[in-house]
């Protein structure tokens, strides 16, 4: 289940970060191989997570200079409503790669200097609030796949909500129906797995079934 789900999961993480899908798959596979050699824990999950992907997209938004992405500035910059990674994907990938390398070097230095104790200064309310806020933003950013129309990505919740309600007349019936059915199935499947111990295997199998059935519908459906 983990091996199958990591493919669509890593693709969605790449989409949140504004990167091509293939880079999400790279980031899911390469850290696993490296950690298998140097790692010490069998339970620790390595690879991309939704929160880091959100931070990458928010941190690199508008970071490309006019020399790196002249077309975006020519179109009007932020006023055009376009995103830099849509106009200059190759330059954005290079910037994201540089960011990943820089963060990796910082983590190595922090590990050598044993700076892990700094995390203890972060209060639980701060961590909980940040995690909850990131989850809400990420969830809202995925509404476009259920509603069937493009929603302008924003790091501010009120802007995303306004973009959703402003164009509700563009909602497509088929994506909405499939999305609601899938969501209902996942919720019911989780409740059943928690209530009946004999059916506990339904918990991890449910997302796999949704992934398989959804892929099958897309393949068999009209273009």
pLDDT at 97: 93
- pLDDT on residue 35: 83
Q: Which residue has the higher pLDDT, 91 or 217?
A: 91
The 10s digit of each residue's pLDDT in 100-119 is 999 989 988 988 888 888 87
| Nearest-5° Cα angle at 95, 75 to 81 | 25
Q: What value does the CA radius of gyration of the chain take, rounded to a whole number of Å?
A: 20
Non-local CB neighbours of 66 within 8 Å, separated by 6+ positions: 73
Count helices and strands (H / E) in the chain.
11, 0
Report the pLDDT value the prediction gives residue 8, as an integer from 0 to 100: 80
159 Ramachandran zone, left/alpha/beta (phi>0; psi -120 to 50): alpha
Query: Model pTM?
Result: 0.75
- CA dist 217 and 99 (Å) reads 38
Please give the span between the terminal C-alpha atoms of the chain, in angstroms, as a whole number: 28
Structure tokens given for 147: 């509603």
pLDDT of residue 4: 67
């Amino acid at each position: 289940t983990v091996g199958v789900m990591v493919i669509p999961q890593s693709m969605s993480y790449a989409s949140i970060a504004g990167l091509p899908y293939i880079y999400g798959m790279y980031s899911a596979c390469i850290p696993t191989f490296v950690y298998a050699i140097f790692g010490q824990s069998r339970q620790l999950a390595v690879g991309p997570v939704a929160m880091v992907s959100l931070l990458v997209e928010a941190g690199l938004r508008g970071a490309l200079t006019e020399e790196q992405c002249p077309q975006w500035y020519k179109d009007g910059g932020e006023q055009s409503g376009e995103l830099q990674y849509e106009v200059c994907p190759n330059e954005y990938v290079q910037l994201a790669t540089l960011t990943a390398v820089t963060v990796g070097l910082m983590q190595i230095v922090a590990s050598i200097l044993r700076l892990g104790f700094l995390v203890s200064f972060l209060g639980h309310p701060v961590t909980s609030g940040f995690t909850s806020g990131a989850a809400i933003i990420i969830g809202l950013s995925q509404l476009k796949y259920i509603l069937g129309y493009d929603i302008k990505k924003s790091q501010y919740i009120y802007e995303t909500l306004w973009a959703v309600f402003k164009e509700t007349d563009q909602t497509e019936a088929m994506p909405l129906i499939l999305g609601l059915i899938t969501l209902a199935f996942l919720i019911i499947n989780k409740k059943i797995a928690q209530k009946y111990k004999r059916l506990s295997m339904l918990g991890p199998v449910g997302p796999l079934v949704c992934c398989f059935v959804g892929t099958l519908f897309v393949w068999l459906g009209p273009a």
